[in-house]
Amino acid sequence: MLSKTVAELSAALDRKDVSSVELTQAYLDRIEKLNPDLNAYITVCKEQALKQAADADKQRAAGNGTPFTGIPIAHKDIFCTRDVLTTCGSRMLHNFVSPYDASVVERLQQAGAVTLGKTNMDEFAMGSSNETSYYGAVRNPWDSSRVPGGSSGGSAAAVAADLCAIATGTDTGGSIRQPASFCGITGLKPTYGRVSRFGMIAFASSLDQAGPLSKSAEDAALMMNAIAGLDSRDSTSLDHPAEDFTAHLQQSLKGLRIGLPRDHFTADLNPAVQTILQDAIKALESLGASVTEVDLPHNHLSVPAYYVVAPAEASANLSRYDGVRFGHRAENPVNLEDLYKRSRSEGFGDEVKRRIMVGTYALSAGYYDAYYKKAQKIRRLIKQDFDEAFKSVDVILGPTSPHTAFKLGEKNADPVTMYLEDIYTIAVNLAGIPGMSLPAGMLQGLPIGMQLVGPAFSEARLLNVAHQFQLNTDWHQRRPEVK
């Protein structure tokens, strides 16, 4: 039962094959058994979850259920959750209990979802392996000696290991899609502004976007129905007409035009991964799609541009953590300057400090034009490349990651090598367009993800392509043997 999708569980709840209380307790039991090894959860909300499940059973019995009523889910610990610890994977917020709910949390609760707990993540979402968390590394359910990807690694591992039915994540440079690839699940980064950032602890405000990590494209569509939409509390939220993201899942792919970026299929890509993607492309062609090559001439500049823009915005956002209002506070400060210095020095980890330093430098007098302004110009060129490509194709297909999940500790000594993990995903965030990863094959017992990218507000089309692919393949149904 726990391996079923949200759509399947919702149908089972409607048929009264199982109650939400029974389902929630089963997930809680599995979390208690497996989480000590996987470390996917930071906080488990047992009493709250069972109460919400009992309320959900009453709602379904009264005929007031939604697809999410009684469905046990997990939230990345970057989303503020009322009266629940919200740490952002950091020491800085190790004692922060939020007084309010993030918009994403609020909307899923209104839809009747049951919150099992808060999932582990890279500290302040800064990382590509989930090894920078103050609470320790998350382990990949497919191989516990490997990383689950980051920064939404806890959510991805929880979904893959059946520790929840679906989970929320955030994506600043690939932090939903890369973990989805490494853990063999489906992950969607929506168009920037499609999902409210209110109550989502900020890393890089012009890049951060919330989205689902799920067992299928259909489940991702169901969550998007619940969380997407205008929010007056978020100044970056877009006033775009509401839509049913499940409405076009069954649409034929006949006539679909798929673009393959030339610079994604080079010698830098593992040949075995390339073979898997070619097989996936053939499967889509058999469903009526046509394939052509496209150029993204400035894509190679996405990593350097990102690692100026994101740290600069992080430097500004993290300045609020000073030991005065909330979060970690140094003991017995001798004066205000000492309070600031020691609170921040003790509260932030090495990777966060590194990015604050880079960002502060890029924004400093005399360097703003040379670094931050130039990076923003490159960002515009990257967006124009995508706009030009989408004049001739409907979606762009490529690898999510150049390889499978790597070993824990393998890349910690070289931050630049770690930054290159996002080489195929970062451009999508810089352009503000939607992208998703879905399982496309296995390599030596580990999942390989395929990335689909579309123009702004094309989430429904991406989900349609992914759903049709999943109806004709079974890669998304593979589950790791976690005991």
Say if residues 167 and 119 touch (Cβ distance below 8 Å). yes
Contact in structure between 73 and 220 (CB atoms under 8 Å)? no
**Which residues fall within 8 angstroms of residue 131, CB to CB, at 6 or more apart?**
122, 137, 147, 150, 408, 409, 412
Instruction: Give me the residue spans of the domains in the chain.
Output: 6-252
d(CA 143, CA 448): 14
Cα(216)–Cα(468) distance, integer angstroms: 11
Beta strands 114-119 and 435-443 are: unpaired
Close Cβ partners of 60 (under 8 Å, ≥ 6 residues apart): 13, 14, 20, 69, 70
Tell me 75's DSSP state. E
> Torsion angle, CA of 121/124/125/127, rounded to 10 degrees?
-90
Q: Which two tokens stand for residue 242?
A: 């509401």
Q: Going by DSSP bridges, is the β-strand pair 395-399/257-261 parallel, antiparallel, or unpaired?
A: parallel
Q: Which of 10, 19, 155, 175 is catalytic?
A: 175
Question: 98 an active-site residue?
Answer: no
Find the angle CA(133)-CA(136)-CA(141) to the nearest 5 degrees. Answer: 105
151, 237, 302, 437: the catalytic one is 151
Q: What is the Cα–Cα distance from 379 to 358, expressed in whole angstroms?
A: 18
CB-side neighbour CA atoms (13 Å) of 289 = 26
Tens-binned pLDDT, residue by residue, of the chain (483 aa): 999 999 999 999 999 999 999 999 999 999 999 999 999 999 999 999 999 999 999 999 999 999 999 999 999 999 999 999 999 999 999 999 999 999 999 999 999 999 999 999 999 999 999 999 999 999 999 999 999 999 999 999 999 999 999 999 999 999 999 999 999 999 999 999 999 999 999 999 999 999 999 999 999 999 999 999 999 999 999 999 989 999 999 999 999 999 999 999 887 788 999 999 999 999 999 999 999 999 999 999 999 999 999 999 999 999 999 999 888 999 999 999 999 999 999 999 999 999 999 999 999 888 888 899 999 999 999 999 999 999 999 999 999 999 999 999 999 888 888 988 899 999 999 999 999 999 999 999 999 999 999 999 999 999 999 999 999 999 999 999 987
Domain 6-252 has CATH 3.90.1150.10: no
286 given a catalytic annotation = no
Are the CB atoms for 140 and 146 separated by under 8 Å?
yes
Phi, psi angle pair for 442, to nearest 5°: -130, 145
Q: What is the pTM of this model?
A: 0.96
Q: Could you confirm whether 76 is annotated as catalytic?
A: yes
| Active-site position among 19, 20, 76, 103 | 76
